[in-house]
Chain A
């Protein structure tokens, strides 16, 4: 049975990666257990770097380690890592193209009751503007494990959004092949509608698409784990035979997947109309995770409603 707890999947993957590469270090900003570092730390205590509640310093310490041959994996709650330490990320990780792996833990609405300070709905937008940065938004435990593995193999800056709530696999593992920058085609559609989804809400989108297909509305669907670089070939392939496109993401509709897709399809003459489903800028509501997802229109029922409304 596949793991559904993201932290457990991350912890297991990090431990395995650590077994095979003694240059990998776990850097924590007082976030070790919350990040899923515990098994790695127990096994490799001398490869654990605890910085404390100092994200800016944590990022620069990681850079100092990276330029001396280490592969630091630094994890902190997503808004603190991506926003408080943004300038360190832009200058010292991005512009300087250093081999640092940034893990924005409890991303998106993971900390839904905790208020806007703890929600990270703009982290992909910020990270997409950082030069050289790969941005991965995993949506199930397979993608979590693979994104970490591929990020460590890849030479250069990577930001991974790490979800917190249980997740089902988007596809059976035997059908999958994870490459940075490659999207997955879930299905092809006949009704001129394509749904492009990323991360935690990919499964919601997939369920909406399945239900619509049963109702005779045949939608295509693409699952995007790497938001930057975006798999433009796959997006354009679908855009060229689509009249209406939807993007679905647990992120602001500004600067994330939706805008990345918009920028891509404008290359096409007669590009399809694009509807971005996500969090409206300035929305700072709180509440239980699934209820908040529904309030923002990101559960499968709401996604299905939105698609029907726009047809």
Chain B
């Protein structure tokens, strides 16, 4: 599936994913809301006209691959896969229960549509290198998308594989940096500054494009145009806001892992309703 891109459709898709994230965390009592809401618009864009995929044939050889390297963003991924038709939303009721198909980090053996299990940071880009190399060797034209966080850039394996991807000219890798500036213990700048990421990736031999990570049109343009140059991998840096969609939590480090009380839960639901009404009058 790779239809024409439609901004309103992608935005509505993203909004429905936000509902899944917020409702699942409220129902369960806790979850990684902040980082999932941060990358929701990116995921919605990928599954609305950018990526080639077929929910009826999730192992389709020619599909584009996606690695959500920060597996803790999985509520965003689960909600996206529900909306893209890979499985029913009732599966989300199992979130973090015994033998759940939707644990707090995604497991490829438990659900269709997950190209590889993730959880430990710094595995996504090297895995993407292997998948991209396989495409070149098999003469396939699929692309490999990998979503990473800016905090994750502290892992050395990210930079090992960033070197590799550029050295081997893996222009079928599209890196996506969900740059919300926050990690568990504070701002990225305070904890162990990984900036300047644009300059670092350029120095490593990548093309870098910077977009507003909540503007689906901008994201779509950047992802669709990758690779910027033949023979070079592209990094799309998406400037995002952690917990986007829950105004009381936006940009606050406290909501990386959200434990919603009743008041906050009501606020989050109201915020989504208000946004929906304001944007689409629904």
Which residues from chain A sit less than 8 Å from chain B, CB to CB?
46, 49, 51-52, 54, 56-57, 59-70, 87-88, 91-92, 95-96
From A52, A63, A88, give the contact of B164 (CB < 8 A): A52
**CB–CB B133/A92 < 8 A:** no
Which chain A residues border B130 with CB–CB below 8 Å? 60-68
**A87 to chain B: which residues have CB within 8 Å?**
120
Partner of B116, one of A56, A67, A70: A67
Pair B133/A64 contact, Cβ less than 8 Å: yes
Q: A46-B137, A65-B130, A67-B131 are in contact. List 4 more A-B contacts (CB 8 A).
A: A49-B133, A52-B163, A57-B157, A67-B130
Query: Is there contact, CB below 8 Å, between B119 and A60?
Result: no
B131 touches A57 (CB 8 A): no
In the complex the two chains form, is A64's CB within 8 Å of B134's CB? yes
A57 and B135 within 8 A (CB)? no
For A96, the chain B residues whose CB sits under 8 A away are: 108-109, 116-117
Q: Interface residues of B: mostly helix, strand, loop or mixed? A: helix
Asked if residues B164 and A69 are in contact (CB atoms below 8 Å), the reply is no
Residues in B neighbouring A63, C-beta threshold 8 A: 116, 127, 130
B164 touches A57 (CB 8 A): yes
Interface of A is mostly: helix
- Assess whether B157 is in contact with A56, with CB atoms less than 8 Å apart: yes
**Do B129 and A60 touch (CB < 8 A)?**
yes
C-alpha spacing A61/B161, complex, angstroms? 9
In the complex, B132 has a CB within 8 A of chain A:
yes
User: Which one of B127, B129, B132, B138 lies within 8 Å of A92 (CB-CB)?
Assistant: B127
Known: A52-B163, A95-B117. A60 touches B157 (CB 8 A): yes
How far is B39's CA from A5's CA once the two chains are assembled, in angstroms? 54
**Bound Cα distance from A88 to B130, whole angstroms:** 13
With A and B bound together, what is the CA distance between A235 and B138 in angstroms?
Answer: 45
Greatest chain A CB density within 10 A among B109, B128, B130, B135 is at B130
User: Which residue of B131, B138, B160 is within 8 Å of A54 (Cβ)?
Assistant: B160
Instruction: Tell me the smallest distance from the CB of B59 to a CB of chain A, in Å.
Output: 10
Task: From known contacts A63-B127, A64-B127, A65-B134, infer whether A56 and B160 are also in contact, taking CB-CB under 8 Å.
Answer: yes
